[in-house]
Amino acid sequence: MITNYAVNTAIDYILSHAEEELTLEDVADYCHFSKYYFDRLFKEQTKESVYAYIKRIKLEQSAFRLKTEKERRITEIGADYGYSASNYSSAFKQHYHMTPVDFRRKSRQYSVEHPFFHNEKWHMESFEECNARITMENVPDYSVLYERRFGSYESLSRSWGGFMEKYRDYVSGGTVFLERTYDDPAVTDKGSCLYDVCMSVDRDCPAFNMGVIEGGRCAVYHFKGHAKYIYAAYQTMFLVWLPQTRYELDVKRSMFDIYHRIEEETMYMEMDICLPVKEK
């Protein structure tokens, strides 16, 4: 769990400025620390240096866009993250062990391989089926108490158990439970995915680990079913729905889920998958 406020602030800053030229000095200055001290602090919490994390985020965000923005040239996407054509191909191959061209060609294949339910057979919905479950909404911001972790989304149920026990005194009849996810496990190594487990609280809540989930314009997929199909819903939105609309993912905001119903024994869930979007 990432417990240091400054490190969490740095992660948020890096994620929302990944298309800009970022250095250790930039991030440390933003957090009001010397670069040498802050790099040690960041690595203690995340197991990565600031430089390594910035590089990984740039490559993984670009890989996601290779997957979902197939009409755009590879060199244009690489340039969005500060890479020349040759440098992008080299850095990408070092990270993914394949060229951007091969990754784009095989991205659908990787996405249909479920990262958690390995023997599960599933298929993507058609655009019409997916679109019928989606509403375009202006979602409100949520003031939340949260805990942040790196790891597999497969561990979410255990994370929620500990979170609910620790903060049960903050729960009221109007509490909303949310999950903020930052990575696509078809793009990011499943053990390195970043996520926040969250509950809505008043803005004057005295807890130290407070934050805001930014709402705004979102494609909201109304999910009902077994938890094992959540991954399929996300991939259908990424690979089928988004490419056929006038929208693209707004990478400066985070994806998040709003829970409405959970049956622990059957793993049946009702939730809203909120995908922040902007017009192309």
Average pLDDT over residues 181-191: 92
Domain identity same for 259 and 146? yes
Q: Are strands 134-139 and 247-249 parallel, antiparallel or unpaired?
A: unpaired
Whether 123 is covered by a domain: the verdict is no
Domain identity same for 53 and 81? yes
Per residue in 88-120, pLDDT tens? 999 999 999 999 999 999 887 766 666 666 666
Per residue in 146-170, pLDDT tens? 999 999 998 888 899 999 999 999 9
Compute the distance between CA of residue 180 and CA of residue 260 in angstroms, rounded to an integer: 15
Specify the pLDDT at position 117.
66
Domain identity same for 143 and 10? no
Tokens of 63: 């890989």
Domain identity same for 181 and 225? yes
SS3 content of the chain, % helix, strand, coil (to 5): 45, 25, 30
Place of tokens 């903020």: 180
The domain spanning residue 178 has which CATH number? 3.20.80.10
Lowest mean pLDDT among 111-125, 136-150, 181-195: 111-125
Say if residue 59's pLDDT is above 90: yes
Average pLDDT over residues 244-260: 93
Lowest mean pLDDT among 37-46, 116-125, 236-245: 116-125
The range of the structural domain enclosing residue 94 comes to: 5-111
Domain identity same for 140 and 272? yes
Q: How far is CA 234 from the centre of its chain?
A: 11
Domain identity same for 202 and 230? yes
Domain identity same for 100 and 146? no
Domain identity same for 256 and 156? yes
Specify the pLDDT at position 154.
86
Domain identity same for 177 and 87? no
Specify the pLDDT at position 252.
85
Specify the pLDDT at position 120.
65
Specify the pLDDT at position 19.
95
Specify the pLDDT at position 106.
87
Domain identity same for 216 and 106? no
